[in-house]
Each structure stands twice: as structure tokens, then as C-alpha cells.
Chain A
Amino acid sequence: MSDAQARGGANIEFRQVGRPLPRTDAPGKAHGKTRYAGDYVMADMLHAKVLRSPEASALLTRIDGSRARALPGVACVLTHAELPDRMAPTDIPGQTGRKRLDTDQQILVRERVRYHGEPLALVAADTPAIAEKALELIAFDLEPFPGVYSVEEALAPGAPVVQGTDNVVSTYKVRKGDVEAGFAAADTIIEKTYRTQFIEHAFLEPEVGLAWVDENEVVNIRMSTQVIEHFRFIAEAIGVPHNKVRILGSMVGGGFGGKEDVTVEIYLALLARATGRPVRLCYTREDSFFGHGKRHPFTITHRTGFTRDGKITALAVDMTADAGAYVYLSPYVLLYATVASPGPYRVDNLHVDARAVATNNMFTSAFRGFGAAQACVAHEQQMDEAANALGIDPMELRRRNFLRTGDAIATGVPIESAVWSDECMTRAWEALGERPPDRGPVKIGRGVAAYQQSYGRITWLHDTSEAWVGVEMDGTVVVRSGVTDIGAGQVSALAQIAAELLGVNLTDVTVYNSDSATTPLAGTTTATRALYMTGNAVRLAAEAVRRRLLERAAREFSRELHEVDVANSIVFVREQPQTEMTLTDLVAICASEGIHRSELVMFRAPFTDGIDAETGQGRVHPDYAYGAQAVEVAVDTETGEVTVLQSVGAHDVGQAINPDAVEGQIEGGTSQGHGYALSEELIYKEGKLVTPSFSEYLIPTAMDMPRVQSIILESRSGVGPFGAKGIGEPSLTPVAPAIANAVADAIGVRIPDLPITPEKVVEALASVGDG
């Protein structure tokens, strides 16, 4: 079984791939040269601002922009009255095969305000100060309208409906095996409910773009986005053909799913067309809190049957997510949560009911982990609860239930790649070393969590990614890909792959990316798919170019193709390296003979047709990644303060393209997980955000984070290039539940609602009389 095999099995020795090379984008960032979307200016540029609703649920009975329009320096004021009768698509982006879900949203409020901060009007003016003054001059009346501010309120009989006909906007089910029989066979049944909170992406670069209409009537938008394919949604929202919108993506200053949906693009396009001038819209931090969908809060109940030896006999999961005021990607987040709901365990008898419910809270959408992170918060705490009840060590309990390659996951599909959950968990735990003693009121606790996280998008989206790779006359390499780089080294990884296959150094590769007009479309940078999809596309393209070039070289050397290699820009016969030529000379020969020294490839993920609506069975994703986090905490039982002393992430990434970049993702994902567990929470009171800045919404600082330890395992069993899987989302998913488990270990009682604040710790201790 491949699980037990030692890592490796690769029969080529990598020269570029697998090395911790400095990333290609690093110098620009360290020297302040990298231009983000907000760093572009154009002559005669206007500055835009958005007028937002101060109420969460209301009727807009009047809006009048005339005084604002009259202010000198104001070029344009748009309310719903000035907009074409079109809606903004909000379904999953970058898909081509399927009809879009009917979840389109009003661009500006027409009559119903559904969330605090919903845009009422747009202004474009000569300076930001004039634009801000103009906002104040827009007169409007809002009449209170009954709203619902929790899923309980939204599901109550007679509750006001947020949009459409039903506050339940999406449901999923799994019916696998026979849970009745499974529960009957159980010696112990554990049931508990876990809750998670609204989370903000808190990327340091707020949403920003610059739009202008060129001489061909093409709307160009320089944009900070994870998805350049949004040009289609924008075109439809403003009523122009798809080939009249161009997105020029910049390096993104953090995305994490928060720049996966359309943010400012449609506003920019409307204003640029209305004024005929370039328009820049840069969100303030306050705008950003209202400007993109948040992480779904989930309430998840697990009811698990175990034998006395700790084998799971049955699992029933009930999940409810707060979709907020608009649907956006809620159905997909719910699906991912459903698929991940049992965790990386073999559960033959599984019953899942999941629903996403609309409320007048801020709308929720994509965030790193995308439902699987929330599911992990529940399933990993449940395993520890069970371990406690059964008197079995928490890691041993997991070992007795981990999936193995070939077992069926929640949706009945066998997992084909390596499942190294145990190796990862064990290595992470061992890295914690010796446990320090408690000291006075400060108690030490340790916890682990394991996960199953998909990589690659839903297979019924028929995902594809295109890439172009070519060799220049001087032997340098060009890669063209629509991929957006959101900071994880997406672009550098492609360069490293091309360098590997074409036998050049990383520094000999230039990647042109992220232009919807000129770079082959790669699909979204989301869903831990960039390396899998675009890495494979680049690999295939580079392999094709390599083959053609080396075939020609082999003929030149009178050898067979397999005898020839290229490294350090020299082509040579492996067993007789003095028989060589420079790559430059080879390219010159190929160019003069009309041999194609570039290739455009489309890589296709598996295409499926969707799962059974009743049973939830069927293929959902191309593959899954497995790993674990181990955490050690110190809890001050008097004040409730939790300090994370050690945090170790161990992940089977299949094959690391750049180990430093993989570590960086593990360290960063861990940091987001720490915040998720302990300090971050968007608080809405009657739908109104009361934590609208970084003073109230607290992400970990340098004083809060221990040095994160990263353990990279490589099974080479993934479907990405060279057997890679992915790390973008997996690095975050197990962290918060590991911390929750560690805190429970420290204080002997569980706090099942995130975040675990000092106040909750004090209350929990008081409730067991340890006061």
C-alpha cells in the first residue's frame, strides 16, 4: 500500500523544483518596487467613493444626488436610477460550462437594503476629499424594515424573508450506509455542538482598482483580484460584450478568498464609462470591512457512535451556516463543509444535513478553507471529546479511524492518493518535545487536529487552466499565464517548474501573468488549485517544448531522445556530457527550421456531472490533502488568557516546489488559525458591525505568534505537477481546532464556541467550580 512507502520514488533528480530558492517576486517586494493595483495613476484620473447604508435592513424610499452633482469637482454621481437595468453576477467565478446560479445581486440598492454598509450610491470626483464631501451631500431616506439577525430568527415561522422566497438558500445531504444500524451497534454515543464566528480576511491591501475606457471602447481595469475571469461578470453587469472588458491583475496584497468575488470592478467600469475619464477606487479599511463577503459562521452538531475500542460506527452531522444578506458562494462553502464533515476518518454510516440560511448580517462567501475549515473545528473537537469519554488517547483514537488510501470518503468516492494523516500527526506531536510543567495558575495543554482538505475545484465545474511556455532566441524562457499571484508564490512556482523542465535557472524565466486580454486564462487563484491546475499546464507546455527541442538536439548528436538532457542552459548527452551545445545554439537551429519553440496547453481537471441530491454520493473534487497541527498552550486560569507556546504544522504536500514557500504558507496559515481560535471575531449587533477597524478586529501580531514549526512530508502521490498536492488552505484548516483541543486539555473543560476568549475561559472554569 502506498501509505506505508517511504517518500520518494521520483526517478529524476530535481535541479530547481524542491529547492528553497529565493522567489522571483521577492526582490521587488523588499525594494519597494512591486506595483500593486493602487500604485497606478493616470492623467486626469477621478477618485471614487461609495455611499453605504447606515442600516442593516431598510427600505430606501428616496435618494437624491443632485446636490452632490452640483459640487465643483464632482464628475459623476450614480444611484440605482442612473444604472442600466442589470444585476451583478455573484455565482462562483471563472466557470464556463454550467449555467450560472440565479443569485445575482443589485449593483446599488434599488429599494431594499439588506446589510449594514450596502452601497447606495457612487461618486467620482477630482480628489478624494471632494468625493468624500459629495457623499455627504447625497440625500436619502431609509425606512426601517424588519430584518433577521441570526439563523434562528431567520428560520422562525413567519420570519421576514431576506431575498427571494426562502431564507434557506442552499442545502446538502449525505446518506451513506445505515446510520440507524451504526448507532445501534455503538457502545457509546457522543453528541456535541460547536460554533464558529464571522471572520474578516484582513488582507493588508484594501480592495482597489483603476479603470479607463480606451479607444476601442474596451473597459480596462487594473485590479487587485484573485480572478481575472471576472471580466465576463463585469461585462454582463454593465451590458457590453465579454471581449470589451479587460482585467489587468496586479500582485495582490493578500486575498484569502476575500478578493475572489467581484469587489470594486463594476463600480469602476460604470464610472469610467459614465465620465469618459480614468477612475480610481481604493477602499478605506472601513470600506473593506463592508466590501467583501466574510467567513461563514457555522453551527455544527456531531452525533458519533463508537465501539468501546474507539471505532466509529456511525456519524450524524447537522450543519447550519449564516449566509448573510446575499448568497454569493454559500452553496459551495456548504458543499465543501459537507464533504469535509467527518474529517479524515473512515465513516461507513454517515448522515449529514447541511443548510445555509440568509440573514441581514454581512454576506458571507469564500475564505481559505471554504467550509472545510469550519467542519474541521467540529470534527476534531468531537474526536477529542470522544477520546475523553472513551478513555482512549486522542491520537490513538484517531489512528484507529484514519482513512487509508482506497477507502471511501463522505461522498462515497475512494481516496486515491496517499493519506499520511498518521505520519503528519505523529511528527507534529513529536516536535512538541517535552511537556513543561504547570506553574501556579498557569496550566499547560496540548492538542492535535487532523484534516482532509480538497485541492482543485469542484469537478462538475469542468475546470481547466491554460498556459503558454516558450524559449527565446537567447535561451531565456517566457511563461504566459493568466494566474493571479496573491502572495503565496504562485508565479514563482510556475517559473521554477518551467526552469526545471527546460534546464535553465530560475532567474532565466520571466512570467507574464494576470492579463485577461493577453495571457492564457488559468482560472481562479482559489480552492488550492493554482499549483495543481496551472502548475500542470505549465508542466505540460514546458514538457512539450522540451521534447521538441531535445528531439532536435538528439538528431544533432545522433542519439535517442532519452539520452539527451539539458541543465544550466546546456544541452548534453547524459552519458557523454562533453557532447553538448548551448541551449541558445539549439534554439537558433530550431527557429531557423521552423520548429515550434513554444507551446500553449490546456490542462483539464477530471470532469464529472454532480452528486446525487438525495445521498450526496459522487465525486466532488479531484483529490484531497491530509496533515495535522499540534499545539501547546499555556492558560492563565485566573485571567483566562491563552498563550500559544508552540505550534507545529505537518503536511503531506505531495511534492514541494519551493520548500521555503511551503513553510511560508504553513506559518501564515497557522497565524490565521491562531486568530480564528483566539482573538478574531466580527461582531454584528442587530446586523450592524461594531468591530469596524483593526483596533477592534484583532489579528495576531508579532508578539502573539510563536515561531511556527513546519514539517513537510512528500508522498509524491498528488495529481499536481511532480505529484504535488497543495498547501494554501490545508495550512490553516487544522490550526484552530488544535488550539481548542489544547485549551480543553489545559483546563479540563471545553469551550465549544470560537473564539476562545479569556472571558469564555473564565466562565468555563467557573461553571465547573474551579473559579
Chain B
Amino acid sequence: MYAEFDLHVPEDLDGALAVLGENDREGAIMPLAGGTNMIVDLRARSVAPSALVSIGKVPGMRGIEISGGRVRMGGRTTVSDMLRHGELHRIAPSLADSAGLFAGQMVRNTATVAGNICSGSPAADLVPPLLALDADVTLTSRSGSRTLALADFFHGYKQMERRPDELLTEVSWRSPAEPAANLFYKLARRKGDAITVVGVAVAMRVEAGKCRGVRIALGSVAPVVKRAIAAEEMLEGEALSSESIEAASRTAVEEMSPIDDVRASAGYRRHCVHVLTRRLLTRAWERLAPGGSQA
């Protein structure tokens, strides 16, 4: 291609971190995971790093482990890895659903969870389910690792917590205690391989007839993927009804700030936040407390 850069293909994590550690400014040396965003950006000249560090050969960064109630996913776990992991479908169906609707097969075989999160795109499809799962991310540099909530990772449009010398090496979360509902819906302008217009992930448990741990995470309707915190708070600890679900859905709309673009208008996106949040909350509640919905 036209863009020119140095390319490092280290054989281990220390090698990768050593190169990144030389990063003298933001964006000078960038990690290369699957490349499904990076190569496109390089070609479009929207990024111009002087060097790339491929993590494609770094061992220990790919795979999904479930133990002790915690799910741990290496940073360069691919979307197809997620789809092929039988357990994941059962314990994190929203993530599996999102993975199933992610781009096309070739991109799924290549794209990684770290790459998707670190794209910083509000349309990154894995992020709403991960937020709804209260996922943590681990950032590793030469000086060590730190783990923080994914909810604290995004500071603004394409502004993230990752320092230039860090790699996102792991995503993890606690498996939700059963019974739990964990739903995802991707609205796009066609069914296959499309950029999300509105993405909604909803998670909740029910304990003693009350909604617990409700999470509403929305993509493509704000500068970052974000949770509708106020809407969640309205429902936390409540027995849900169609009125309370409706009210929370309207509140979720207030918390988002969608834009007009070639795919949809802000008004339509707001409408869909309302409709889809309501739909998923209703479905989740009916699954966990069937017949418990008050008229």
C-alpha cells in the first residue's frame, strides 16, 4: 500500500512492550492486532504511524478461560474465537450475538477484542455487551499491568485510557449469577456486514422479584459507547412494569446524543433507542419474571 511505516513482529509480549515503550508521542507507534481497522485507516490516511507493532505472534494473549466464576479473554482473541466457544453462548449470549453479527466471516476470523475496544469507535459492536457485563480491561506496559472497568476506558470520541506504551492484554468479567438475562440487538441498514446504526445491550438479574444489576449499554448514539446510567437507576431494585420500562427507555434517550450521518438521522436514532431499549428490557424481564409484568 501507499502508507509507509516500520513493522515489528515480536515473538513475545516483552518484545512488543519494549517497542511500544519507545513511543515518544501518541500515535507514533501503534499496536496492530487483526488489522481490520488499522489497514483501512492506513489506506485512508486517517492514521499515519511511523511504526506498527504486530501482536499476531505474541503467545498467551489469545483464548477464553472460564474459572471461578470469572471469564477471561486474551486481548487478541478473535471474534470467531468467541463464536466458536460453546460456553460463551450460554454465559454471555449478548456477546455471542454481537460476535455473530460482526462484519463478515473473514473479518471475524481476524478482528480481535482488543482491536475492537481500542478502535474507540462508538459503533464497536463488542463494546455494548461487554459494558453490560461490567467487563474490566487490563492494560499492560513495560512497567506492569493495571485493570480498570471498561466503563472507565472511554473518555471521549476516540479518546481512551490506554497510554501509548500499553497493550490491552485481557478483557474479563464475572459471569452473571443465574438467573440472568443478557440481550443484544444490532440495528443496521442491512442485515449482513453493516455498520451499526443503534446497538443495544441489556443485562439484568432478578432476585426476589426485583430487578438487579440492570445494565443498558448503547452504541452508535453518542461519542462513546455508554450506559444509560439514569435509566438503569430508575429500574434497579424495582419490580418492572410496562410503565417503568417505558419511562426508563425515554430516559435512556435523554442520556444519549446521536448525530445525523449517511446511515440515519439523530431523530431516528433517538426513536430506536427508545423502542429497542423498551423491547429488550421487556424481553429480559419477561424471561426472568414471566407473567410478573404489571399492566
Q: Which residues of A contact B (CB under 8 A)?
A: 128-129, 132-133, 638-641, 643, 678-679, 683, 690-691, 695-696, 698, 700-704, 757-759, 762
CB within 8 Å of A: which B64-121 residues: 104
B193 interfacial by beta-carbon distance below 8 Å: yes
B203 within 8 A of A: no
Cβ-closest chain A residue relative to B279:
A638
- Which of the candidate stretches B21-29, B234-242, B268-276 sits at the interface with the other chain? B268-276
A638 cross-chain contacts in B, Cβ below 8 A? 275, 279
Q: Does B262 contact A (CB under 8 A)?
A: yes
User: Shortest Cβ distance from B45 into chain A, in angstroms?
Assistant: 10
Is B265 part of the binding interface, using a Cβ–Cβ cutoff of 8 Å?
yes
Bound complex: CA A695 to CA B193 (Å) = 9
Offer 18 A-B interface pairs, CB within 8 angstroms, sorted by A: A128-B2, A638-B275, A638-B279, A639-B275, A678-B190, A679-B190, A683-B262, A695-B195, A698-B190, A698-B194, A701-B104, A701-B190, A704-B191, A758-B187, A758-B189, A758-B268, A759-B268, A762-B271
Q: Which single residue of chain A is at the shortest CB-CB distance from B278? A: A638
**Residue contact A639 to B276, C-beta cutoff 8 Å:** yes
- For A758, what are the chain B residues with a Cβ–Cβ distance below 8 Å? 187, 189, 264, 268
Chain B residues, Cβ within 8 Å of A704? 190-192
Q: A757 near B272 (CB under 8 angstroms)?
A: no
Q: How far is the CB of B184 from chain A (nearest CB, A)?
A: 15
Contact between chains at A690 and B262 (CB < 8 Å)? yes
Query: Is A639 a contact of B272 with CB atoms below 8 Å?
Result: yes
Give me 17 other A-B pairs in contact (C-beta within 8 A), A639-B272, A640-B268, A679-B190 excluded.
A128-B2, A638-B279, A639-B275, A641-B187, A643-B191, A683-B262, A690-B262, A696-B262, A701-B190, A701-B193, A703-B190, A703-B192, A704-B192, A757-B189, A758-B187, A758-B189, A759-B264
Which 8 A-B pairs give the minimum distances between C-beta atoms? A701-B192, A703-B192, A759-B268, A703-B191, A638-B275, A132-B2, A698-B190, A679-B190
Q: Is the CB of A691 within 8 A of B262?
A: yes
Specify which chain B residues have a CB less than 8 angstroms from the CB of A640 in the assembled complex. 268
Q: How many A-B residue pairs have CB under 8 A?
A: 51
A133 lies within 8 A of B2 (CB):
yes
Residues of chain B lying within 8 A (CB to CB) of residue A690: 262
Complex CA–CA separation, A762 to B2 (angstroms): 44
Complexed CA–CA distance, A691 and B189 (Å): 13
Residues of B near A762 (CB, < 8 A) are: 268, 271
A683 to B262, CA, bound (A): 8
Give chain B interface residues in 273-293, CB to chain A under 8 Å.
275-276, 279
Contact between chains at A702 and B265 (CB < 8 Å): no
Q: In the assembled complex, which residues on chain B have CB atoms less than 8 Å from the CB atom of A700?
A: 190
Q: How far is the CA of A641 from the CA of B272 in the complex (A)?
A: 11
- Expressed in whole angstroms, the minimum distance between the Cβ of B268 and any Cβ of chain A is 4
- Which residue in chain B gives the minimum CB-CB distance to A129? B2
Q: Which residues of B contact A641 (CB under 8 A)?
A: 187
Docked Cα-Cα span, A695 to B275, in Å, equals 25
Contacts of A132 in B (CB 8 A): 2
Contact in complex: A701, B191 (CB < 8 Å): yes
A704–B193 Cα distance when bound, in Å, is: 10
Q: When chains A and B are docked, how far (Å) is the Cα of A348 from the Cα of B246?
A: 57
Quick one: closest B residue to A637, CB to CB? B275
Pick the contact of B265: A643, A679, A696, A759 (CB < 8 A). A759
With A and B bound together, what is the CA distance between A702 and B2 in angstroms?
32
- Point out the residues of chain B lying under 8 angstroms from A683, CB to CB: 262
Docked Cα-Cα span, A700 to B187, in Å, equals 15
Residue picked from B190, B193, B271, most chain A C-beta under 10 Å: B190
> Max chain B CB contacts within 10 Å: which of A132, A133, A758?
A758
* Bound form: Cα–Cα A702–B275 in Å: 27
Contact of A679 among B2, B104, B189 (CB under 8 A): B189
Which positions 184-217 of chain B face chain A at CB distance < 8 Å?
187, 189-195
- Contact call B189/A698, Cβ cutoff below 8 A: yes
Q: Which residue of B lies closest to A703 (CB)?
A: B192
Q: Which residues of A contact B193 (CB under 8 A)?
A: 701, 703
**Residues of chain B in range 232-265 having any CB-CB distance to chain A below 8 Å:** 262-265
How near does chain B come to A362, taking the closest CB pair, in angstroms? 15
Whole-angstrom distance between the alpha carbons of A690 and B263 in the complex? 11
B189 contacts across to A, CB distance below 8 A:
679, 698, 757-758
Give A687 Cβ to nearest chain B Cβ, in Å.
15
* In contact, A702 and B276 (Cβ under 8 angstroms): no
Q: Quick check: A639 and B190 within 8 Å, CB to CB? A: no
For residue B194, which residues in chain A have a CB less than 8 angstroms away from its CB?
698
The CA-CA distance from A422 to B1 in the complex, in Å, is 55
